[in-house]
Amino acid sequence: MMAQHPIQGVERRAADIDLNSKIDRVRRSYGTHMAMRIATEESSFGRARRLPGLPSSKALYDTITGNGTKLEFSDYLDDPLTRATGPVVSFHRQTEIKHGL
């Protein structure tokens, strides 16, 4: 596994702090029910909803968290189709490997 750039760790911690302050602000403004609803939606939509091997854009999660309007490094320089990670294994081959076929 490749080591992360130090800036990525700083950005991730800042995002966690920003999320906590956002939920706290919502709790004080609209009540606990709205903060719980936002936390539930973020945890529900943050999970992968596709079968293994199929790409997931997580567009709904980005919309809820507000990341859909931000242009980040991974949006234009981290194209999964151009990564040098080795051969891509198809969904059927992954299932065969998992079940030992």
Q: Domain for residue 77, yes or no?
A: no
**Rounded Cα–Cα distance for residues 14 and 83 (Å):** 27
Enclosing domain of residue 31: 6-72+86-99
Do 69 and 84 touch, CB atoms closer than 8 A? no
Q: Domain for residue 52, yes or no?
A: yes
> What is the distance, to the nearest Å, from the Cα of residue 20 to the centroid of all Cα atoms in its chain?
17
Q: Domain for residue 14, yes or no?
A: yes
Do 81 and 44 touch, CB atoms closer than 8 A? no
Q: Domain for residue 78, yes or no?
A: no
Q: What is the mean pLDDT of each run of 10 residues along the chain (101 residues)?
A: 71 74 86 89 81 76 79 71 68 84 82
**Rounded Cα–Cα distance for residues 92 and 77 (Å):** 29
Q: Looking at residue 2, what is its pLDDT?
A: 62
Number of folded domains that form the chain: 1
Q: Domain for residue 46, yes or no?
A: yes
